[in-house]
Structure 1
Amino acid sequence: MSLVRSLETAEVDAFYTLNEGRLASVTREFTEHFSGRVLYAVKANPLPKILHVVSRAGVAGFDVASLAEARLVHSTIPQARSWFMNPVKSRRDIERTFRDLGVRDYVIDCEAELRKLLEVLPSHDPELRIFIRFQCGRTFAVFEFSGKFGVSPSEACRLLSLVNAQSRWATGLSFHAGSQTIVVDPYLHAIRTAVDIIEAVSPAPTALDIGGGFPGHYLNVPYHSPLSMLSVITKLVRGTDALKRVELFCEPGRALVHDSISLFCRVILRKGGALYCGAGIYSGLLPGRQHLLLPARAWREGRPIQTEEWQDFIIFGPTCDSTDRLGFSYSLPRDLSEGDWIEFQNVGAYPETVRFNGFSVDKIVTVGQDELTMCCPPPFSSCSFTSGHRAK
């Protein structure tokens, strides 16, 4: 069904649009600018269509964080390779991903997790590779990850030595700067730390995974193009002798998929300055709950609304939970009313993590090239939203 037909139907109160061409283009650009192997972080958006597009566009494989994600990749693209890059895994998930799904790369950040791997996996198999995740210091990321995972450089050296002493496994290093990392400096600092670790251990690690965290474009946070960040990273890597013998990986998710998807929500009720919509934080708009201000525009009768009169609205979702509202107010046409639609752009990353009251968004409309001008304008046009107001 086309976009216009979807806006005219009464069957659903919310649906996604997916621009496959945009997703493929961004993925190709990323893989061309990174001097290593690009893995797509499945957790960012696990839709099978997404996996197919990024696979065709050049990713080398998939970063999975659970047995369920590994099974999804295997069932969607059977020939694809997965890397299990969650530092905490159950024995069941380790055993089944290895035995049934062919996973050969795992990450740890403590000796207890290493003992678990040694007890479950064949220690004599040189095709297995164990990454040690270390902390990369302050990251300036919107969503910090350093409080949960990662060890000090000295502890990373000790763990690497333990792996070398107790198995024939290859080793690697990994770090993660956090989600929505807005400057390149944390990557550079962590890469230099990795070099120090590589030079201190023998046999040296054969791989370095610099993680994900590359930013998407939102209205309320500074934005640096991931491609410009990759250019700086590549310059450092190519100028460092110790890294010339190391296989390089990264795990982008948000940076690849965020701006290829919009969420259209029908206005189902207006109460003064509050709009109650067909989707909310439990069904597609979680990125707008606290930290991120999404580009948005209003639609009526199958077209974007053109107006000179704007009003700031609080946006609520359809559930009975009073916390189901966006963290910012949105400037939209003053006469917006029941039956109109709001398009929230750049929602492709982490759109749905929980469901509540039975509300979910299951319909996806693939946007064709003939609809791009109408459906996907250049992002962040200042005429239809503001960034200075938080919802009270």
Structure 2
Amino acid sequence: MSADHERLAGLAERHATPFHVLDCARLDEAADQLAGVLGTLSRETRVYYSVKTNYLPFILRRLAARGMGADVVSGYEMDAALAAGFDPADIVFNGPVKTEAELAAAVRHGVRVHIDGEQEIAVMEQLAAEAGHPVEVGIRISPGVPVSTSSDPSYRAQATATALRNRFGWPVGSAELARVVALIADSPHLTLTSVHAHLSSQIVHEELMLRAIGRVLDEAAQLHRRFGLREVNIGGGFGVPGIRRPRTGPLTALWAQQGGIPAQDEEPFLDVARLLPAVDGLMARAGLDGVALACEPGRWLVSDAMSLVTRVVSRKELPEARWLILDGGSNVAPWAGTGEVHRIEPIGRTYSSRTSTWSVSGPLCYENDIHASAVDLPDDTGPGDLLCLRDTGAYSLGRSNNFIRTRAAVVAVDGDDETLVWRAETGTDVFLLADPSPQPATDPGVEPATEPIAPARAAAAPVALAAGTTW
């Protein structure tokens, strides 16, 4: 058993499964790698961590301490970023909906707003006028071309239609974009200084991404000649190698139903060490010298910095399937049921060298609570054994829920240190917001049945929290 597996198994002796493990060294390594690539470019660069990807305060504080900026898409994310220590001048507020109260808070704190709704312009102009000083804003635009492809033509058709119907920002070269830009230009207290485009998520086709970014830069160059931009923000969505998303359409499904064997496309690898210098070159050729290049990585920074440790509860061998049922389901791994494939590794003991094909599910009474429909795992895997699901750092905490089961804890490991940085949700937490005048949900003499289940092989030992730890 590897040292990593031993460490994870040891944590399972002290924490109730399921729980996430945050590897601080891996988070730091990703941040260092990105900084190294950006440091080679010919222009000023900025990184805004995408808070929606994982809003764990421990992560926010660690990245803020490195001097990163933050990308937020809601008022409470803005509050979290400010509380974590991000400089307000290094926070950008994106997203299709921003309330007047949220916009007022952004102006009050000096957070830059990227316009993604026409109604935001009049509100921002009034707020800036009341503040008595000009306010810088950005605008979100859309290139209108797909950034992923497949050997399945029906998938390609869907991707093209989705790109053209994109509801975020305004299409490059369109009359709608020109009209919105004119509204900003006619606002005495607003100054357009940045262009923003977020293309998609888990992008792995570098050439398609560069084609889309090229269209964004062509538009940005025109705006730069008119307004004098300070920054072009290409968003994030940089694909990571630890997960795989299906890129198939209805034609593949139909072919499979007829007994065909659909083609398995090779998964490309997106290398930011190639991508970002290429974008730098495109900016130079577009005449954007002196304009900073910004990006908003989220998944790329945190995806493989977290793993989920979960325990096999049941082994069920049926005529048409062999199931391993875990105590961690789609409530704590929200990508389950969407087809996103994550690595699953057995840990905690020495297993048989013989493997079998297993279907792996969570504990929810919900038919799509499935981690993998077919994965090779040791033949002797069974109840009580531990499994590790890799790459759970992105969109796990914020999108987790308490449908049927409660949310999981997060334990951070930093060298020899081990810190509980997000406690497991309890049944009491689930109903905390219920009823204006709270009433006891159960007989006070009866212990609740919804507390986390202690590890099967060892008693759960309390873990002291680091000073100042919040959740």
Correspondence for 2:346: 298
Aligned residues: 362
Residue 278 of structure 1 is matched in structure 2 by: 327
Matching residue of 1:39 = 48
Corresponding residue number in structure 2 for 1:321: 366
**Conservation of the 8 A alpha-carbon contact between 2:238 and 2:270:** no
Coordinate RMSD, CA, aligned = 2.7
Q: Distance in 2 between matches of 1:328 and 1:103?
A: 48
Tell me whether 123-132 or 150-159 shows the greater mean CA deviation.
Answer: 123-132
Residue 274 of structure 2 corresponds to which residue in structure 1? 228
Residue 184 of structure 2 corresponds to residue 163 of structure 1: yes
After the TM superposition, which residues 109-148 of structure 1 pair with which residues of structure 2 at under 5 Å, given as runs? 109-122=116-129, 128-141=135-148, 147-148=166-167
**Pairwise mapping of residues 325-344 of structure 1 onto structure 2 (< 5 A)?**
325-344=370-389
The question of whether the paired residues in 1 share the 8 Å contact of 2:17 and 2:311 is answered with yes
CA shift, 1:260, in A, is 1.0
Label 1:57 to 1:332 Cα distance change in 2 as closer, same or farther (>3 A).
Answer: farther
- CA offset digits 1:67-116 (Å, max 9, x no partner): 111111112226453210113211121112332xx143112234233223
1:177 to 186, 199, 214: 199
Aligned match of 2:104 = 95
**Partner of residue 246, structure 1:** 291
In structure 1, how many angstroms separate the alpha carbons of the residues matched to 2:400 and 2:22?
21
Equivalent residue letter for 1:65: V
Q: Distance in 1 between matches of 2:218 and 2:412?
A: 49
Match of 1:51 among 47, 52, 60: 60
Q: Secondary structure at the match of 2:186?
A: helix
1:151 aligns with 2:179: no
Return 36-45 or 123-132, whichever deviates more: 123-132
DSSP-derived class of the 2:311 partner: strand
Shift of 1:241: 5.5
Equivalent position of 2:404 in the other structure: 357
1:367, CA displacement in angstroms?
A: 5.3
Percent identity between the two aligned chains: 25
Deviations 1:178-214 (A, max 9, x none): 0011123344334433343344342243321111111
Q: Are the structure 2 counterparts of residues 127 and 184 from structure 1 closer, same or farther at C-alpha, using a change threshold of 3 Å?
A: farther
What letter is aligned with 1:147?
Answer: N
Contact 1:187 1:233 in 2 (8 A): no
Cα gap change, 1:360 to 1:258, in 2 (>3 Å): same
Q: Shift of the alpha carbon at 1:369?
A: 7.0
TM-score normalised according to structure 1 size: 0.83
- 2:70 paired residue number: 62
Larger Rg: 2
Q: What is the CA–CA distance in structure 1 between the aligned matches of 2:412 and 2:291, rounded to whole Å? A: 42
- The one-letter amino acid paired with 1:21 is A
Q: 1:330 to 1:57 in 2, by over 3 A?
A: farther
Q: Is the 8 A contact 1:135 1:149 kept in 2?
A: yes
Q: For residues 65 and 277 of structure 2, what CA distance do their matches in structure 1 show?
A: 23
Shift of 1:341: 0.6
Contact 2:64 2:84 in 1 (8 A): no
Residues 1:297 and 1:116: Cα distance change in structure 2 (over 3 Å): same
1:83–1:103 contact (8 Å) kept in structure 2: no
Q: For residue 450 of structure 2, what is the aligned residue in structure 1? A: none
Matched, 1:211 2:235: yes
Give 3-state SS (helix, strand or coil) of 1:267's partner: strand
Could you list the runs of 5+ residues in structure 1 that have no partner in the other structure? 372-392
Gaps of at least 5 residues in structure 2 are: 1-6, 150-158, 245-266, 419-471
Indicate which of 266, 269, 284 corresponds to 2:311: 266
| Structure-2 change in CA distance of 1:147 and 1:328 (3 Å) | farther
- C-alpha distance in structure 2 between counterparts of 1:256 and 1:279, whole Å: 24
**Cα displacement (A) at 1:274:** 1.1
> What SS is found at the alignment partner of 2:346?
strand
Which amino acid counterpart does residue 325 of structure 1 have in structure 2?
I
**Change over 3 Å in CA distance of 1:147–1:265 after alignment to 2:** same
Give the residue type in structure 2 aligned to 1:168: H
Deviates more, 1:112-121 or 1:30-39: 112-121
Deviations 1:126-155 (A, max 9, x none): 652221111122233499776321212233
Q: How many angstroms does 1:370 deviate by?
A: 11
- Over 3 Å counting, the alpha-carbon distance change for 1:313 and 1:119 in structure 2 is farther
Match of 1:244, SS state, is: coil
Residue 82 (structure 1) aligned to one of 91, 97, 101: 91
Find the aligned partners of 1:29 and 1:199 in 2 and give their Cα distance. 29
Measure the CA separation in 1 of the matches of 2:243 and 2:221. 42
CA distance in 2, matches of 1:322, 1:170: 51
